[in-house]
Amino acid sequence: MAKQVSICVIGSGYVGLVAAACFADMGHKVICVDNDEARVKLLCEGGVPIFEEHLPELLAKHRGRSVVFTSNLGEAVEESEAVFIAVGTPQGDSGAADLSYVEAVVAEIARMIKNYTVIVEKSTVPVYTNDWIRRVLHRHGVGKDRFDVVSNPEFLREGTAVVDFLHPDRIVVGASNEQSAEILRRIYEPLTEGSYYAQPDAIQGCCTMAQPARMLVTTPQSAEIIKHASNAFLAMKISFINAVANLAEAVDADVEDIAKGIGLDSRIGSRFLHAGLGYGGSCFPKDVAAFHWVAQERGVNFQLLNEVRKINETQREVFFNKVRSALWTLRGKRLAALGLAFKGETDDIRESPSIEIIKKLLRAGALVTAYDPAAMEHAKETLATEENLKYAENVYEAAQDADAVLILTDWKEFAAIDLERLIRAVRFPIIIDGRNLYEPAEMQKRGFTYVSMGRQSSYQGLEAKPHKMPA
């Protein structure tokens, strides 16, 4: 059995809260710190502020025992061998990551350190942040012998973050010496040695005792670049298949067949080759911009990243034009918008293509009724000033008397709609699918006009599709 490590996690957002719960499930003692008193109170009382599979169960299992929540950073740092920084690094106006929250936390940590402590970057940060953290600690009088700084980037997908944490493709540790690397090895030993997977109540995933998680130990700079480069590469795959989708549609090909053919190449793989509305969320847009900014600062012309961002932004316009082409005019049209989160199985609306498209439709004079299984409360805050926008309790209420149904988020629920019930609810049987959740031929048989991404559209009662509306 791996030796328990006392851990402090600063920040109770997506990364911090998932990390705290998973470290506790791995057998460690965890103190999760946040300066938001209301959030800490919610967590202490059994609440879960984010929508994430398995997280409520893990918190219920370990709350008050292996994991506690507090706003007292001083006590948490004093009691911990490793302090994980998991605070926000939002995108600034220049594209660079705003590291002011990281700096503020490091300055506070500096006042609390009594014994040797490993400070761990868990937030997504640009290269050389490790060095800046060291400088801040030195400036506050912390001796070199009392700390080390390690980079340990996260590779979590919202909606599957708990499974991703406990069954990772790889664990990356960027350490400048063996002493600090050894503490990270001890922390992750239940995963790398496989003992966690022998627990009868372990979260199930791809790793097992026979095939445990793998750890890669690098320099801090390499670890920092690995995180940004990984997300930029995945964003590039999404933008690539979306560009291919637009070409496929122009020559009467099917992007789903094309993606399948590309993905069967073992050098490429099928993941992230799904045509749609483009990427969103808290990671890809910010990380692509930050990675490009870092390259510019070092005199490297990373022009490819500019194109990735341009293609992604264009996809919203492509979808909007599909809606307009299918309906001719938008003013006064009743539209059912299915999906508000940036992707399925999460309540996160940050940089959501759905939100951007809904705003554009409202500006064009459409009347929108929206539904999302988890993200409606967040959306109501963001879209509070929008007129002609209503919310429904389910798919069919949203679709009642609609001129068209728009699928904006790839929720599993939206891929299993009762189509007979839907066609009875709508005014016109028109579906414009931004996520390619259905097969065109099947939808045509069911009596729908069906428009999707990178595939030929089927228009009921027409031999040919309408001409595209001018931009």
Helix (H, G, I), strand (E, B) or coil at 356: helix
Tokens of 39: 């959030």
Listed in order, strand segments (DSSP E) in 284-340 are 334-338
CA-CA-CA-CA dihedral for 107, 109, 111, 113, to nearest 10: -150
The owner of tokens 């002609």 is: 388
Decide if 102 contacts 87 (C-beta within 8 A): yes
* DSSP annotation of 271: T
What 143-148 contacts at long range (C-beta under 8 Å, 24+ apart), as own/partner pairs, is: 145/116, 146/113, 146/115, 146/116, 146/117, 147/113, 147/116, 147/117, 147/118, 147/119, 148/116, 148/118, 148/119, 148/175, 148/176, 148/177, 148/179, 148/180
Residue 17 neighbours by CB under 8 Å, 6+ apart: 32, 43, 49, 50, 52, 55, 59
**Phi/psi of residue 251, nearest 5 degrees:** -115, 20
Rg (CA), the chain: 24
CA distance 66 to 21: 9
The owner of tokens 């939100």 is: 355
Strands 215-218 and 334-338: unpaired
Helix (H, G, I), strand (E, B) or coil at 212: coil
Catalytic-residue membership of 206: no
Give the number of other CB atoms < 10 A from CB of residue 138: 13
Name the nearest CA neighbour of 247 among 324, 337, 326, 314: 314
Active site residues: 283
